[in-house]
Structure 1
């Protein structure tokens, strides 16, 4: 796989580890991030040998979200085009949304291993993952609220399906930090570990357990869960019935 500016990618025993590698910038999301991330996920999806993705990062913080200098620069360019400004801004947001949608839509289960701060776009990123593990010091925030923005890359459509509605509203209206204990109690985090080393060890153990199963069955489970979450019980049962029937055809 190609070398990247924002990521290291390691393959080992059916597991792909995608590592955010800009700790000096708190792994903020630059233009390179938005270009490289969907490319990496697409290539992994095409690799029939990979059965689990572990998403992790370097340094004390997982991800500080969208690089503000990038956002301000892009917004300045858009503001200069008064007549087409609404269309350009819509297209800009859509590009960012699609870059994270590809993670949620991946056929491969994604385990996010989170330490330190995970805010703004970083929260959007882990919301698109299937399983979230965190260190004791990890914390989350819908920081966009404090910046005068409505989070628009994926927080609300996903977070409301992961934690109670009232808690989403509180976090959105205040922009406050959401710590590891609260995240575990609400079901947002699957588990919490004392440090990153222990967390990554657990992430790889879980990935190995998942990868021991049929990748087709795991993919079917992922799709069935996603479909059932957004439909009635009857519709979910019908979907699963058709999936299994087609598998044995």
Structure 2
């Protein structure tokens, strides 16, 4: 994949490892970050040879959130007319939201590996991922409240379905820091690893396990789970019936059944 200013991307064994690569700036999300993440996840979505994604941060920290220089540049664009300022701000906010929507809507499962700081906008980012994992030193905080603003890039919309309404309200209203063990207890992360190397090793192993499965079945599972966040049970049952009316005709089902009967590991086409 192309060279990026804010990321490195490595593809190996059907896994895309997307790493925020600004360790000297605590992986703060600068202007190139927001543009590049849309391009990266768009390409991942298109490539059938990629079956899972690991998202991590280079250095000691996952990300300290939105780069303050970016916020300053947005402020400098504002003029005297409040109506035009509102239009300009809304457009910019929608652009930022689209960056994390690209992560959330990727057909491939996205696994976040978090060490050190995961603050502000970084919470929005991991909320858009399918699963989250942490090193023991990870620290999570919704910091927008301390900046006198409402989080606006996905935290308040996606986290209620992950950690529940009451806990989200506590964290959003107070801005307090959650350590790795509490994050695991409240369901923000699936598992805690002793340190960053073990974290990355463990998450890559999970991604490889997913990549071995039928990509048709994995994508279908992701679509059904996403659909059920906003629909009734009967709607979800109808949707999966329509989906599987097509997808059960895939060769993957026959391959899996033959492998089970013959007691060998199935190998699925991209």
Question: Aligning the two structures, in what range does the TM-score lie when normalised by the shorter sequence?
Answer: over 0.9
Mapped to 1, the partners of 2:240 and 2:220 lie a distance apart of 8
Mapped to 2, the partners of 1:114 and 1:83 lie a distance apart of 39
Mapped to 2, the partners of 1:80 and 1:197 lie a distance apart of 50
Matching of residues 12-91 of structure 1 within 5 Å:
12-79=12-79, 82-91=82-91
Q: Is the contact made by 2:216 and 2:247 (CA closer than 8 Å) also made in structure 1?
A: no
Corresponding residue for residue 194 of structure 1: 194
Higher CA-based Rg: 2
TM-score between both structures, scaled by the size of structure 1:
0.97
Mapped to 1, the partners of 2:19 and 2:248 lie a distance apart of 38
Mapped to 2, the partners of 1:79 and 1:59 lie a distance apart of 38
Deviation per CA, 1:53-93: give whole Å up to 9, x if none.
00011111100111112112212212455441111110000
Structure 1 runs (4+) deviating above 2 angstroms are 78-83
Mapped to 2, the partners of 1:27 and 1:72 lie a distance apart of 17
Corresponding residue for residue 243 of structure 1: 243
Corresponding residue for residue 144 of structure 1: 144
Confirm or deny that 1:207 pairs with 2:207: yes
Corresponding residue for residue 225 of structure 1: 225
Mapped to 1, the partners of 2:47 and 2:245 lie a distance apart of 26
Mapped to 1, the partners of 2:192 and 2:218 lie a distance apart of 24
Corresponding residue for residue 96 of structure 1: 96
Relative distance call for 1:81 and 1:48 in structure 2 (3 A) is farther
Root-mean-square deviation over aligned CA pairs: 1.1
- Gap runs ≥5 in structure 1: none
- Match of 1:132, SS state, is strand
Corresponding residue for residue 5 of structure 1: 5
C-alpha deviation, 1:35, in angstroms: 1.0
Deviates more, 1:105-114 or 1:175-184: 175-184
Deviation per CA, 1:114-141: give whole Å up to 9, x if none.
0001011111000000011100110111
Mapped to 1, the partners of 2:79 and 2:121 lie a distance apart of 22
Mapped to 2, the partners of 1:154 and 1:91 lie a distance apart of 15
C-alpha deviation, 1:232, in angstroms: 1.3
- Gap runs ≥5 in structure 2: 250-270
